[in-house]
Structure 1
Amino acid sequence: MGDTFHGVIAFALLATMLLIGSVLRTRISLLRRSLIPSSIIGGVIGFVLLSLDLIPGFSPQDFTALTFHLFTLSFMSLCLTGSSKDKSLSGGSIVRGGLWLTLMWTLSLGLQGVIGLLVAKGYAAVSGQSLSEWLGAIITHGFTQGPGQALTYGGIWEDKYAIANAAQVGLIYASLGFIVAFCVGIPFARYVIKKGLNANQASKIDSHFISGFYTREEAPSSGRLVSHPANVDNLAYHLALLGVAYLITYIWLSAMQPVVEGWQPLGINVSVLFSFNLFFIHGLFVAVVMRMVIDRLGLDHYVDDETLKRITGSSVDLMVVGTVMCIKFAVLSALLVPILLISLVVTLVTAFFCLLLGKMSGPLGYERGITAFGCCCGSTGTGLLLLRMMDANFSTSVPKELAFFNLAIILVNLHILFVFAPIVPSMGMGGYIAVYGGTALVALCCVPLLLRGRSRSTSTQGMETKQA
Structure 2
Amino acid sequence: MQDTFHGVIAFALLAFMLLLGSLLRSRVPWLRASLVPASIVGGVLGFVLLSLGLLPGYSPGDFTTLTFHFFTLSFMSLCLIGTRRHGGLQGGSIVRGGMWLTLAWSVSLGMQGVIGYVLVSVYDAVTGSNVSAWLGAIVTHGFTQGPGQALTFGNIWEDTYGVANAAQVGLIYASLGFLMAFVVGVPLARRYLNKGLNANQASRLDVSFRQGFFPAPEQGEDANSSAPSMGRMVSHPANLDSLAYHLGLLAVAYVITHLWLTFMQGVIGDAAPMGINLGVLFSHNLFFLHGLGVCVVMRKVIDQLGLGHRIDDETFKRITGTSVDFMVVGTLMSIQFSVLYALLTPVLLVAVAVTLATLLSCLFIGRMSGRLGPERALTSFGCCCGSTGTGLLLLRMMDADFSTSVPKELAFFNLAIIVVNFHLLMIFAPIVPSLSGGAYLAVFGGTAIVMLACLPLMRYWERRGAMTFKAVNADKAADRPNGYGVVANSSPNKGVVS
Q: Residues 84 and 397 of structure 1 are in contact (CA less than 8 Å); yes or no, is this contact kept in structure 2?
A: no
Equivalent pair of 1:168/1:330 in contact (CA under 8 Å): no
Describe how 1:312-331 pairs up with structure 2 within 5 A.
312-331=320-339
2:481 matches 1:458? no
Deviation, 1:423, is 2.3
Quick check: 1:371–1:384 contact (8 Å CA) kept in 2? yes
Q: Does the Cα contact within 8 Å between 2:175 and 2:331 map onto a contact in 1?
A: no
> Structure 1 residues 129, 277: closer, same or farther in 2, change over 3 A?
closer
1:388-431 CA-partner distances (Å, limit 9, x unpaired)? 11111111111111111112222222222222123223221211
Give the alignment partner of residue 363 of structure 1, picking from 371, 378, 388.
371
Equivalent pairs, count: 468
2:223 corresponds to: none
**Does structure 2 conserve the Cα–Cα contact (< 8 Å) formed by 1:203 and 1:389?**
yes
Deviations 1:371-403 (A, max 9, x none): 111111111221111111111111111111111
Structure 1 segment 430-441 matched on structure 2, within 5 A = 430-441=438-449
Q: 1:331, CA displacement in angstroms?
A: 4.8
Q: Which stretch has the larger CA shift, 327-336 or 342-351?
A: 327-336
Q: Partner of 2:4 in structure 1?
A: 4
Q: Please name the residue that 2:194 is paired with.
A: 194
Deviations along 1:143-179, one digit per CA (max 9) or x if unpaired, are 2122343344344434444444444443433332222
Query: 1:42-96: per-residue Cα shift (whole Å, max 9, x none)?
Result: 1111111122222122221111222111111111111111124225321211111
Match of residue 118 from structure 2: 118
**CA distance in structure 1 between the aligned counterparts of 2:433 and 2:261, rounded to whole angstroms:** 32
Could you tell me how far apart the structure 1 residues matched to 2:281 and 2:461 are?
31
CA distance in 2, matches of 1:338, 1:6: 35
Farther off after superposition, 144-153 or 265-274: 144-153
**Matching of residue 300 in structure 1 with residue 308 in structure 2:** yes
Q: How far is 1:220 from its partner?
A: 2.4
1:309-458 matches, within 5 Å, as 309-331=317-339, 335-458=343-466
TM-score normalised per structure 1:
0.95
Report deviation, 1:352. Answer: 0.3
> Alpha carbons of 1:257 and 1:119: their partners in 2 closer, same or farther (altered >3 Å)?
same
Q: Determine which of 275, 278, 300 is the counterpart of 2:286.
A: 278
**Please, which runs of 5 or more residues in structure 2 have no aligned partner?**
218-225, 476-493
- Cα deviation for residue 334 of structure 1 reads 6.1
Output one character per residue of 1:337-378: Cα deviation in whole Å (capped at 9) or x when no partner.
Answer: 333332222211110001110121112111111111111111
Inter-partner Cα distance in structure 1 for 2:83 and 2:31: 34
Relative to structure 1, the CA distance from residue 124 to residue 60 in structure 2 (aligned partners, 3 Å threshold; closer, same or farther) is: closer
Counting only pairs closer than 5 Å after superposition, residues 16-27 of structure 1 correspond to structure 2 as: 16-27=16-27
Map 1:28-177 → 2, pairs under 5 A: 28-177=28-177
SS of 2:337's equivalent? coil
User: Structure 1 residues 96, 216: CA separation in 2 closer, same or farther (over 3 Å shift)?
Assistant: same
Residue 179 of structure 1 aligns with an amino acid whose one-letter code is L
Per-residue CA deviations over 1:100-126 (Å, capped at 9, x if unaligned) read 111111111101111222223333334
Q: How does 1:167-246 map to 2 (within 5 A)?
A: 167-217=167-217, 218-246=226-254
- The Cα shift of 1:332 comes to 5.3
Separation (CA, whole Å) in 2 of partners of 1:460 and 1:364: 16
Distance 2:119 2:102 in 1: 25
Aligned runs of 1:259-274 on 2, under 5 Å? 259-274=267-282
Aligned counterparts of 1:169 and 1:73: Cα–Cα separation in 2: 25
Question: Is this contact kept in 1: 2:392–2:407, CA < 8 A?
Answer: yes
User: 2: distance between equivalents of 1:84 and 1:358?
Assistant: 25
Task: Provide, for residues 189-224 of structure 1, a one-character-per-residue CA deviation record: whole Å limited to 9, x for no partner.
Answer: 111111111111111011000111111322222311
| Gap change, CA 1:336 and 1:236, over 3 Å in 2 | closer
The verdict on how the C-alpha distance between 1:276 and 1:168 changes in structure 2, with shifts beyond 3 A counting, is closer
Q: Is the deviation greater in 171-180 or in 405-414?
A: 171-180
Secondary structure of 1:377's aligned partner: coil
TM score, norm. by length of structure 2: 0.89
Q: Return the alpha-carbon distance in structure 1 between the equivalents of residues 264 and 433 of structure 2.
A: 32
Q: 1:193 to 1:293 in 2, by over 3 A?
A: same
SS at match of 2:256: helix
Farther off after superposition, 444-453 or 275-284: 444-453
User: Once structures 1 and 2 are overlaid, which stretch shifts more, 254-263 or 153-162?
Assistant: 153-162
2:482 aligns with: none
Letter in 2 for 1:201: Q
Q: Distance in 2 between matches of 1:176 and 1:461?
A: 40
| Inter-partner Cα distance in structure 1 for 2:65 and 2:163 | 27
Q: Distance in 1 between matches of 2:131 and 2:253?
A: 47
Q: 1:359 to 1:9 in 2, by over 3 A?
A: same
2:256 is the alignment partner of 1:248: yes
